[in-house]
């Protein structure tokens, strides 16, 4: 991932130093497991633990000769240990035993960071949802005024969507927190299953059956979860982009002292982070496509997935973390304009109350089709003539013959329209916390 979209705490997990470091964890534990089985002398296992190390530059230099990164890594580690103990490094293993187990370890560590960021985002959204619980605004369907809602209810639904992403993260972590040290085709032909059990236990992973490689549907599930998080944040960001439009201006991203919205137009305050989030969500969806194509491999293994994963796994995980952290900052600094929301709610001449009028006419004995056409006729006049909907209804004999003024007024009661919004907050408040 390019530095612009990388945050240090997660990018540190995917440096060459970190990758080789996880490989080394697997290799050293495997030697210790062999020692527990009496195959490797205890003093040699101790020497491996004490002396095993690597130099990244030396590995890259060695790879120019071997044309195989794991072989180069093993050569360098064995040299740092020295004979005779160094000869036990990589004993009985194939490259994928090390690489796949280590990659799963890196991914679980990254998911833990992402899960923390997702929890912070959920909390930030929920806090602002409660802040604007009773702030009325117009609800829009197809981009057109529909019925009243509250800005808090909108945000509460966002918080619940993030919660679902957190639940997906927990499932994805369980799926990828696995390891395998079962040899060239997964049959344990040259490695005792106890080695796999011990190594995985020490790393906090679960040993699973595999071929030479872990099945790639596991990795694809993680990539789906990243794409899902991106899609959620894109949903929220797209809404802010709409609400920040000049004609709407109900909410907008925070704007810092010294910030510039345009190099040419000093008046501009653009939803740049929201637009960035929408763009980065496309990248996350693209990595999912590549991950799904990695699932099908030849027989017990080929390496068509390897080059892809070297790009998409770090990039997807780092980018997912980035969008969660940055979107939380947008939410925390979001500027909300309740007066503008109320003004926009009134801008459609009271048409947002058309359904209560329809239902009142039906309750008074009109057929639904009759009532619909009476309300629709007046609604279209309100649009065309830019006149209050309530005023037109009060002058329509088809309405006044059925509804008295008090009943008609009740149809335009904003408090009545929002009386049950708290059900959204009941759901939000009852979510509790996810189990650790």
Catalytic residues: 142, 262
For residue 410, the surrounding DSSP H or E stretch is helix 405-411
Residue 130 near residue 152 (C-beta atoms within 8 A): yes
For residue 224, the surrounding DSSP H or E stretch is helix 217-244
β-pairing, 136-141 with 178-179? unpaired
Residue 251 near residue 245 (C-beta atoms within 8 A): no
Between CA 60 and CA 307 the distance in angstroms is: 17
Dihedral, CA of residue 390, residue 395, residue 396 and residue 401, to nearest 10? 100
User: What residues have CB less than 8 Å from 160, skipping those under 6 apart?
Assistant: 427, 428, 431
Between CA 214 and CA 72 the distance in angstroms is: 22
The CB-based long-range contact list for 255-259 (8 Å cut-off, 24+ gap) reads 255/335
CA 106 to mean position of chain CA atoms: 18
Helix axis angle for 69-81 and 95-131, nearest 10°, is 100
Mind giving me the DSSP string for 241-253? HHHHSTTT-SEE-
């Amino acid at each position: 991932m390019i530095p612009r979209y990388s945050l240090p705490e997660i990018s540190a997990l995917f440096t060459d130093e970190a990758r080789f470091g996880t490989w080394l964890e697997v290799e050293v534990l495997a030697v210790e497991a062999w020692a527990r089985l009496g195959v490797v002398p205890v003093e040699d296992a101790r020497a491996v633990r004490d002396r095993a190390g690597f130099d990244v530059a030396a590995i890259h230099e060695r790879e120019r000769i071997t044309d195989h990164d794991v072989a180069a890594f093993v050569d360098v580690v064995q040299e740092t240990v020295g004979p005779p103990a160094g000869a036990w490094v990589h004993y009985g293993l194939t490259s994928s035993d090390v690489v796949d187990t280590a990659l799963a370890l890196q991914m679980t560590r990254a998911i833990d960071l992402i899960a923390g960021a997702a929890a912070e985002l959920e909390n930030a959204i929920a806090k602002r949802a409660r802040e604007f619980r009773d702030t009325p605004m117009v609800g829009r369907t197809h981009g057109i005024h529909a019925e009243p809602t509250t800005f808090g209810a909108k945000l509460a639904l966002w918080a619940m969507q993030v919660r679902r992403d957190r639940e997906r993260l927990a499932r994805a972590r369980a799926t990828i927190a696995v390891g395998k040290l079962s040899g060239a085709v997964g049959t344990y032909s040259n490695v005792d299953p106890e080695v796999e059990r011990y190594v995985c236990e020490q790393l906090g992973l679960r040993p699973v059956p595999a071929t030479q490689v872990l099945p790639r549907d596991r990795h694809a599930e993680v990539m789906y979860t990243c794409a899902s998080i991106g899609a959620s944040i894109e949903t929220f960001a797209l809404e802010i982009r709409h609400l920040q439009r000049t004609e709407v201006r109900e909410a907008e991203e925070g704007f810092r002292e010294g910030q510039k919205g345009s190099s040419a137009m000093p008046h501009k305050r653009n939803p740049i982070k929201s637009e960035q989030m929408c763009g980065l969500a496309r990248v996350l969806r693209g990595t999912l496509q590549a991950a799904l194509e990695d699932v099908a491999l030849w027989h017990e293994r080929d390496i068509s997935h390897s080059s892809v994963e070297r790009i998409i796994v770090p990039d997807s995980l780092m980018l997912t973390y980035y969008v969660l952290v940055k979107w939380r900052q947008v939410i925390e600094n979001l500027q909300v304009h309740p007066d503008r929301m109320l003004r926009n709610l009134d801008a459609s001449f009271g048409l947002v109350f058309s359904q209560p009028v329809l239902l009142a006419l039906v309750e008074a004995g009109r057929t639904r089709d009759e009532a619909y056409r009476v309300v629709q006729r007046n609604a279209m006049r309100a649009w065309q003539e830019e006149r209050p909907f309530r005023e037109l209804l009060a002058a329509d004999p088809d309405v006044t013959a059925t509804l008295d003024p008090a009943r008609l007024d009740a149809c335009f009661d904003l408090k009545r329209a929002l009386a049950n919004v708290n059900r959204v907050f009941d759901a939000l408040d009852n979510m509790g916390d996810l189990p650790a």
